[in-house]
Amino acid sequence: MRLSFLFGSTLAVAASIWGIAHPSAVAIRLADGTVSFDKPPRLVNASTTFETVNVPGATYYFTVSLPENAGEPLQRIAIAQNQGFDDIRFQLKDSVAFEGTPERKGEKLRLKAVTKDNKTGTITVTFDPPVSPGKTVTIGLDPVRNPWTSGVYLFRVTAFPAGEKAYGLDLGVGRLHFYPSF
C-alpha cells in the first residue's frame, strides 16, 4: 500500500512537471489507514448578517470550496473561535448548510449532526451524505446574539474528508468584525 502511494505520487508529480493533466484524483491514504484530501479545500469567506454588537438574529456564514480533484468527499467541518473578547454561544439546532454562497444559495444540504466540544468550544458540522468534490458549500451558524464587546473575532476552520480515520486540514481563519451601536 505504501509503495503504491509513493508510486502514484511520483507519477502525479512527473505528470505535473511535464504538463500532463492527472486523469483522476486519488485520495491520500497512509499505511495506518488515515485518509486525507489529495487537493485541499479552501476557506472562501466568513461573513455575518449583522455586524452590530449585542444583536440577536444574526447568522454567521462560513463558505468552503472543495476542488474537483480533492480525491475525497467532505465529511465534516470544525469551527473554533480562537480570538475575541466574548465567547459566542450558538443555537446549534438552528444550523444550516447549503451549496453555494450566502448571496447565491443553492440546494440545502442535510446535516447528520452539529455538536460542540465543551472543553475546546469547537463546533463540528457533519454532512449526510458527505459533500462531493467540485462543490462550494456554506455553513450557517446562529449565535444566541452577537458578542457584547466590539472588535475582531477569529474562527479557525478545519475540513475533514470522509472516513473513520480522517486527517483534518486547517483551512485558516474566518474573520468577523463587530462594531458598537451608536
Span 107-160, pLDDT tens digits: 999 999 999 999 999 999 999 999 999 999 999 999 999 999 999 999 999 999
DSSP 92: G
Instruction: Report pLDDT for 27.
Output: 57
Domain range for residue 153? 38-178
What is the count of structural domains for the chain? 1
Task: Determine, yes or no, domain membership for 143.
Answer: yes
> Each residue of 58-102: pLDDT tens digit?
999 999 999 999 999 999 999 999 998 999 999 999 999 999 999
Task: Determine, yes or no, domain membership for 21.
Answer: no
Instruction: Report pLDDT for 32.
Output: 72
Say if CB 153 and CB 178 are below 8 A apart: yes
Task: Determine, yes or no, domain membership for 5.
Answer: no
DSSP 117: -
* pTM over the 0.85 mark: no
Alpha helices in the chain (DSSP H): 2-17
Task: Determine, yes or no, domain membership for 30.
Answer: no
Say if CB 161 and CB 40 are below 8 A apart: no
Closest by CA to 159, choosing from 79, 100, 45, 61, is 79
Task: Determine, yes or no, domain membership for 172.
Answer: yes
CATH code, 70: 2.60.40.1290
Encode 95-110: b = buried (16+ Cβ within 10 Å), e = exposed.
bbbbbebbeeeeeebe
